[in-house]
């Protein structure tokens, strides 16, 4: 609230339950912004932050206690519980919001709100403002300005506290064990979804009931599809399998990718491309340090991959020219990473004005170069086609450089083959 202007109010709605089919709902997951500010995990709630309010600056509207509904759907905190367990200064039943919140908005010079996320709540906000306008003849004063909350709040979320980093490290540790479990379980003839089940088992038994995103388990040609989630193919002897999976632990995400041979041994071509991707990843991680800008890890990965593709004969020409015209994008079409936190693709600006922002301690990012030789790519020898490789780790920017918090997953060829050979 220290960042808010005097005589202002911020309004943040919770996530809503979403219907999956007919009378069943998706597992509820709280809106990340709402959770960051409140720690409250129930639906049908609204948070108001009102700096300088005499009766309390942290105000919550939520569902009342209802023993009948709780019998069917579980415990509710109620307004009293929100004050007791979540340190709200004041709390009211959500059913009273139309009577109370307009009075909290009235007379405020500025409203901080993320317009455009929910059309229904946008209309509700405007209805409250219009109700104030309708009373102007009686001396009511409506807000003079709406300010988008996202930029200010997301800049705060970009820099992780010590408590947040502990949760991210825990998510990384659980995810590392899950990837190791998948490697040990893998063999020709299994289906991709069976490896997915191994991942989910490790997540759940470690206290992370849900993946942070749909797990990708793509073998053979499927590894060349960036967001392959069908996970339905039988894994064949001689193919690679790419697993991009991470758990969500107490709302914080891990995002880790490993690629390994279904039979536990890399072929010559698989080895060559894998070692190239690994060199690119290590070069990119070396650029994650305070004072470097966001794009330096990506530039490092592009340089290493382009040089390697020329050496292997998949690209022809001078490296600087190939980089300038982005020839590498035939095989490496995505960026090297993204922010990580409460969301797997976490919030925060990558540029400040026209410049890439500088990396600072407390930022957390992924580093995930890849190579994907499409099975239909007739410009390369058949031996390269259908090979998809990505190596991804979660990296914290520290005062001294960086910390790889997913380092528990083997990623050298020797480590992978040793782990899989010990099955």
Catalytic entry in 36, 390, 393, 417: 390
Residue 150 bears catalytic tag? no
Residue 408 reports pLDDT greater than 90: yes
Catalytic entry in 248, 287, 368, 393: 368
pLDDT in tens, 44-63: 999 999 999 988 999 999 99
Catalytic entry in 221, 255, 346, 394: 255
pLDDT value at residue 17: 96
Q: Grade residue 1 by pLDDT with cuts at 50, 70 and 90.
A: confident
Catalytic entry in 244, 346, 393, 417: 244
Q: What is the distance between the alpha carbons of residues 220 and 326, in angstroms, rounded to a whole number? A: 26
Catalytic entry in 54, 55, 227, 268: 227
Q: Grade residue 147 by pLDDT with cuts at 50, 70 and 90.
A: very high
The CA-based diameter of the chain, rounded to the nearest angstrom, is 82
Q: Grade residue 293 by pLDDT with cuts at 50, 70 and 90.
A: very high
Looking up tokens 């407390």 gives 362
> Pick from 247, 279, 296: which is nearest to 397 by CA?
296
Q: What is the distance between the alpha carbons of residues 419 and 255, in angstroms, rounded to a whole number? A: 21
pLDDT in tens, 28-45: 999 999 999 999 999 999
Ranges for all domains in the chain classified under CATH 3.90.230.10: 159-421
Q: Work out the average pLDDT over 394-405.
A: 98
CA triple 4-345-209, angle to 5 deg: 105
Distances in Å between the Cα of 103 and the Cα atoms of 9, 90, 333, 357 are 11, 14, 52, 41
Q: Grade residue 2 by pLDDT with cuts at 50, 70 and 90.
A: confident
Q: What percent of the chain has pLDDT over 70?
A: 100
Question: Which architecture does CATH list for 159-421?
Answer: Alpha-Beta Complex (3.90)
Q: Grade residue 352 by pLDDT with cuts at 50, 70 and 90.
A: very high
Contact at 8 Å (CB) between 244 and 216? yes
Residue 244 bears catalytic tag? yes
Residue 287 reports pLDDT greater than 90: yes
Residue 297 reports pLDDT greater than 90: yes
Catalytic entry in 23, 120, 354, 414: 23
Residue 145 bears catalytic tag? no
Residue 314 reports pLDDT greater than 80: yes
Query: Under the phi-then-psi rule, with left for phi > 0, alpha for psi from -120 to 50, and beta for the rest, what region is 220?
Result: left
DSSP summary character for residue 339:
B
Ranges for all domains in the chain classified under CATH 3.40.350.10: 8-156
Residue 325 bears catalytic tag? no
Residue 120 bears catalytic tag? no
Residue 423 reports pLDDT greater than 80: no
pLDDT value at residue 55: 86
Q: What percent of the chain has pLDDT over 90?
A: 96
pLDDT value at residue 67: 96
SS3 call for 351: strand
pLDDT value at residue 137: 87
pLDDT in tens, 232-271: 999 999 999 999 999 999 999 999 999 999 999 999 999 9
Q: Grade residue 96 by pLDDT with cuts at 50, 70 and 90.
A: very high
pLDDT value at residue 234: 98
pLDDT value at residue 369: 98
Residue 345 bears catalytic tag? yes
Cβ neighbourhood burial of 384 (10 Å; 0-12, 13-18, 19+): buried
Residue 293 bears catalytic tag? no
Residue 228 bears catalytic tag? no
Residue 55 bears catalytic tag? no
Q: What are the phi and psi torsion angles at 412 (to 5°)?
A: -80, 155
Fold for the domain defined by 8-156: Creatine Amidinohydrolase; Chain A, domain 1 (3.40.350)
Q: Grade residue 143 by pLDDT with cuts at 50, 70 and 90.
A: very high
pLDDT value at residue 253: 98
Contact at 8 Å (CB) between 336 and 369? yes
Report the b/e string of 55-90 with b at 16+ CB within 10 A.
Answer: eebbbbbbbeeeeeeeeeeeebbbbebbbeebebeb
Catalytic entry in 113, 298, 372, 394: 372
pLDDT value at residue 422: 81
Number of H helices, E strands in the chain: 12, 21
Contacts of 40 (CB under 8 A, 6+ apart): 14, 30, 34, 47, 60, 62, 77, 82, 86
């Amino acid at each position: 609230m220290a960042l808010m202007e005097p005589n202002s109010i911020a309004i943040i709605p919770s996530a809503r339950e979403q219907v999956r089919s007919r009378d069943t709902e998706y597992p509820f997951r709280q809106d990340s912004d709402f959770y960051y500010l409140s720690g409250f995990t129930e639906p049908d709630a609204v948070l108001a932050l009102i700096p300088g309010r005499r009766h309390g600056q942290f105000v919550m509207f939520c569902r009342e206690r209802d023993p009948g509904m709780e019998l069917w759907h579980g415990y509710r905190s109620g307004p009293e519980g929100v004050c007791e367990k979540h340190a709200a200064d004041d709390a009211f039943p959500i059913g009273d919001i139309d009577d109370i919140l307009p009075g909290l908005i009235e007379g405020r010079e500025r409203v901080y709100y993320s317009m455009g996320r929910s059309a229904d709540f946008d209309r509700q906000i405007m209805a409250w403002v219009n109700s104030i306008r309708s009373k102007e003849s009686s001396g009511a004063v409506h807000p003079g300005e709406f300010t988008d909350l996202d930029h200010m709040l997301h800049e705060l979320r970009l820099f992780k506290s010590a408590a947040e980093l502990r949760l991210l490290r825990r998510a990384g540790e659980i995810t590392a064990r899950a990837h190791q479990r998948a490697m040990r379980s893998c063999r020709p003839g299994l289906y991709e979804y069976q490896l997915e089940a191994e991942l989910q088992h490790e997540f759940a038994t470690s206290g992370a009931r849900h993946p942070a995103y749909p797990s990708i388990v793509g073998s053979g040609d499927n590894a060349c599809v960036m967001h392959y989630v069908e996970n339905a193919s039988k894994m064949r002897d001689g193919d690679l399998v790419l697993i991009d999976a991470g758990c969500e632990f107490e709302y914080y995400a891990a995002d880790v990718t490993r690629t390994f041979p279904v039979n536990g041994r890399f072929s010559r071509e698989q080895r060559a491309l894998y070692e190239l991707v690994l060199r690119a990843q290590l070069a990119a991680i070396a650029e994650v340090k305070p004072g470097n800008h966001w794009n330096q890890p990506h530039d490092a990965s592009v340089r290493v991959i382009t040089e390697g593709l020329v050496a292997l004969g998949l690209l022809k020409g001078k490296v600087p020219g190939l980089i300038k015209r982005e020839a590498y994008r035939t095989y490496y079409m995505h960026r090297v990473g993204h922010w990580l936190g409460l969301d797997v693709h976490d919030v925060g600006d990558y540029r400040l004005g026209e410049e890439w922002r500088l990396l600072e301690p407390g930022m957390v990012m992924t580093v995930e170069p890849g190579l994907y030789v499409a099975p239909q790519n007739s410009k390369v020898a058949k031996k390269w086609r259908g090979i998809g490789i990505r190596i991804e780790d979660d990296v914290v920017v520290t005062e001294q450089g960086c910390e790889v918090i997913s380092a528990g997953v083997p990623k050298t060829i020797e480590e992978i083959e040793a782990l899989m050979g010990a099955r």
